[in-house]
Amino acid sequence: MPKAVVSRLSLYLRELQVLVRDDKKTISSTKLGRLLGVTDAQVRKDFAYFGQFGYPGIGYRCEELIQEIRGILGTDRMWLAAMIGCGNLGQALLGYRGFQSQGFSVQAAFDIAPEIVGSTFHGLKVHHLDSLPGMVEEKGIQLAILAVPAEVAADVAELLVQSGVSGVLNFAPVTLNLPKSVSVVGVDLAMELEQLAFAVVKKGEK
């Protein structure tokens, strides 16, 4: 299965949730594809990797398809996460409503700076990083959102691995080299802007 399929699955899910909010009951591969800029065949093939979810002559039932996708992605259960680093970005992410609504619950927050440890942001008290291993165990935390400065990201990531988390969402602008038992997804905001700059330049040339 192509690995791009999984990111399209997230995209389909997001669009289906919009459709349900607008009281749409069913949607065809053609219409769903049009909304997202992919072909109808692509939509059908993507779902076909996981099962037969459609109804010939009808399309896909939105609510049902949402459940199927959530089951595939694993977001039908609640995932417990820890926020690591409560500076600018970490604080903002603690207040982000979109995580909770998609199946992610930030259970604990950590930092190392004396002026931040002990503070409360969006109802969550910040603990010292030293207490991370214990709390991961105690609370059953599976994922970490890493929002620390680049210089310390590698070391902190190492600590996360030792603490037993299974996945890291890395906002630090460095490539983490972790054991392959731990999954990593990187989000580099400056890189995204670079991609945008390139797209603009290319368009200007055409």
Cα(58)–Cα(30) distance, rounded to whole angstroms? 12
Tell me whether residue 12 or residue 104 sits nearer to DNA (CB atom). Answer: 12
> Strands, E, within 86-158: which ranges?
104-111, 120-121, 124-128, 143-146
Q: How far is the CB of 28 from DNA (least distance, A)?
A: 4
Tell me whether residue 4 or residue 58 sits nearer to its own copies (CB atom). Answer: 4
Binds DNA by CB under 7 A, chosen from 47, 104, 121, 171? 47
Encoded tokens for 182:
């731990």
Tell me whether residue 26 or residue 142 sits nearer to DNA (CB atom). Answer: 26
Please report, as residue ranges, which positions from 52 to 71 form the binding site for DNA (by CB under 7 A): 52-60
In the list its own copies, DNA, none, the entry touching 61 (Cβ below 5 to 8 angstroms by class) is: none
Rule CB under 7 A: which residues touch DNA? 1-5, 28-30, 38-42, 44-45, 47-48, 52-60
